[in-house]
Structure 1
Amino acid sequence: MRTINRILTFTVCIMFILLIEVSSTIRLEDKLLLIGLSLICNVIAYFTVEYIYKRIDNKKKNWIYNSQNSFNI
């Protein structure tokens, strides 16, 4: 699932960059600014997804640990 999210995030970023590049009404400076913002948003989205998956994994581990200890009482 993580791999799918990484691929989708990267694909959306690339599509947005290509959309900016083919637009002829935007000045070059604005295109570069939008591309930079798109890359920054891509990095933020990537680390957000990683953080969420890490929290989910930790909750699963805690749940498994707590469920095993509850039977040993």
Structure 2
Amino acid sequence: MNKASHVDRLSDHIKGLREKAEGLPAGDERNALLRKAEQDEIALRLIDWITSSGRLPPPEDLIPIRRHRLRQK
């Protein structure tokens, strides 16, 4: 499996989660879908960083903030 196909599938999955969440009323199911989309977006940022061959700085701005937000929920 190459990086591009994995990233494309993950991007499509995130888009699908957000679209599905938009069609739901506020509540636990909608929040869970949005939380999963956020987690998958973190994965995309990490994939970009890991495969950047040192061209990108570590996503320090993202990891601690998200980890803290996810613990609160």
More helix by share: 1
Q: TM-score, normalised by structure 1?
A: 0.48
- Report the TM-score, using the length of structure 2 for normalisation: 0.48
Larger Rg: 1
Q: Which has the higher contact order (CA 8 A, sep 6+)?
A: 1
